[in-house]
């Protein structure tokens, strides 16, 4: 009994130390966001400063954050919707439909995971530039409607766990493939949907490379790009306290989304990799 209690205490201490180490950058970010510009660079003790709550008001006044939030919401919503629809539909075909060479096509799709994005950057940019999509949100949103190999894999693995009897019963009632996917597979897929939503949301929300390449107009910037305004813009200058305040504000949506989907997210990760 004593050995079990000691083991529990040791595990709790190790977990607490690990959590503190992981959260140290976040704590530093929040504390720095509440300092003045002078206190950031004179390096006072981390706990000895007067909180400057006005930093958050200054952030909203210096940069049109409302516009950046709207731009980011537009891109993220389109990417999440396109990814869920395209990946779930493709995964249903790989998991349930019979077709010659289906496994070969699936393995080829999985092989694309080893292809770096930078390899296709130049030809992709040329195509989008030729059709007039540069400086619009289309290059950031439209590709999501053509699927993602990793998320197709997650959906497929989850669909393989759904009993075929449900599909057979629906087919007897006259349901076609599309209706079976929409009315049976989608409602049963909340764990994997939550998983893909969290991954896609965080990826699209934090994407810096894509908006920098395709969005030349400052009024169309997303939050990830707008943070550079506080890092060294001639208009504002490198103000670390404002940068950390803006970063703190920008990190809240990702935290909220993860907390809301946490239960389904953990379950989706657990079950999506167990099917054969």
Q: Give the pLDDT mean for 60-65.
A: 80
Question: Confidence band (pLDDT; 50, 70, 90) for 275?
Answer: very low
C-alpha to C-alpha distance for 103 and 23, rounded to whole angstroms: 43
Distance from the Cα of residue 44 to its chain's centroid: 36
Share of the chain above pLDDT 90, in %: 32
Q: Give the pLDDT mean for 102-129.
A: 89
Convert the pLDDT of each residue in 182-225 to its tens digit: 988 998 888 889 889 989 999 999 999 899 999 988 889 999 88
For residue 63, give the DSSP letter: S
For residue 183, give the DSSP letter: I
Domain ranges in the chain are 55-272
Q: What is the pTM of this model?
A: 0.83
Instruction: Tell me the CATH number for domain 55-272.
Output: 1.10.3720.10
SS3 content of the chain, % helix, strand, coil (to 5): 75, 0, 25
């Amino acid at each position: 009994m004593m050995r079990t209690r000691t083991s529990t205490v040791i595990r709790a201490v190790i977990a607490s130390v690990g959590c503190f180490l992981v959260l140290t950058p976040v704590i530093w970010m929040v504390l720095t966001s509440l300092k003045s510009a002078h206190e950031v660079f004179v390096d006072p003790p981390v706990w000895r400063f007067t909180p400057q709550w006005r930093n958050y008001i200054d952030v909203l006044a210096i940069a049109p954050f409302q516009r950046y939030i709207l731009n980011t919401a537009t891109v993220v919503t389109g990417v999440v919707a396109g990814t869920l629809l395209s990946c779930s539909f493709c995964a249903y075909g790989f998991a349930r439909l019979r077709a010659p060479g289906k496994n070969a096509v699936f393995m080829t799709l999985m092989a694309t995971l080893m292809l770096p994005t930078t390899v296709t950057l130049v030809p992709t940019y040329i195509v989008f530039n030729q059709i007039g999509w540069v400086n619009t949100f289309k290059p950031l949103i439209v590709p999501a409607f053509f699927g993602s190999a990793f998320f197709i894999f997650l959906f497929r693995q989850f669909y393989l766990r759904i009993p075929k009897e449900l599909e057979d019963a629906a087919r007897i009632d006259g349901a076609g493939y599309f209706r079976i996917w929409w009315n049976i597979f989608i409602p049963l897929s909340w764990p994997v949907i939550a998983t893909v939503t969290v991954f896609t949301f965080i990826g699209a929300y934090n994407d810096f490379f894509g908006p920098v390449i395709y969005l030349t107009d400052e009024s169309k910037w997303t939050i990830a790009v707008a943070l550079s305004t506080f890092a060294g813009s001639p208009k504002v200058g490198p103000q670390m306290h404002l940068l950390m305040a803006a970063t703190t504000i920008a990190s809240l949506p990702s935290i909220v989304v993860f907390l809301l989907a946490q239960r389904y997210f953990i379950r989706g990760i657990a079950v999506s990799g167990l099917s054969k």
